[in-house]
Amino acid sequence: MSLKNESARMFKSDLVERFSRVHPAIPVLLYLPLIIASLYFALARVQLSILSIAEFFVLGLVTWTLLEYVIHRYAFHYEPKTRIGKQFHFIVHGVHHDYPNDAKRLVMPPAVSIPLAIVFYSLFIFLFGRTAPAIWAGFAGGYVCYDSMRSIISR
């Protein structure tokens, strides 16, 4: 059973360890301006209608919700057999289960979330073309809401 403020050291390097801990407000501070910029871009540059932007935003939210469920269900709860697999799983998600009240490890560090955001934005451009900014805004909005709710609920 974990104590309220119990935590675990994950990395030997003090620098890497420091970047593995994130204040729960960071996703909001980092992604909210990008979400707003994406919505503005969809409206002003791509010239999508407000209704289209709203529809594509909802598509992004639904995409985030489905992806989060699938990844959480099948990847994060996979039981690796090898030592390296177990270490990787612990770093990616296992620490959350062993130390669920570690307030600095409730959200994904920007060193991981930013490259993933770029990958998904690129994927949305490839799949959806000019509507990608509105879809990505919904997708990122879903991520921010999910992380924010997890942080609030765990208090």
Q: Is residue 138 a contact partner of residue 58, using CB atoms and an 8 Å limit?
A: yes
> pLDDT: is 35 or 95 the higher one?
35
Q: Which amino acid is located at 130 in the chain? A: R
Average pLDDT over residues 94-116: 80
Residue 72: phi and psi, rounded to 5, are -65, -45
- Model confidence band, residue 109 (pLDDT cutoffs 50, 70, 90): confident
What does pTM read for this prediction?
Answer: 0.84
* pLDDT value, residue 3: 44
Domain parsing of the chain, residue ranges: 26-153
Condensed to tens digits (0 to 9), the pLDDT of residues 117-134 reads 999 999 999 999 999 999
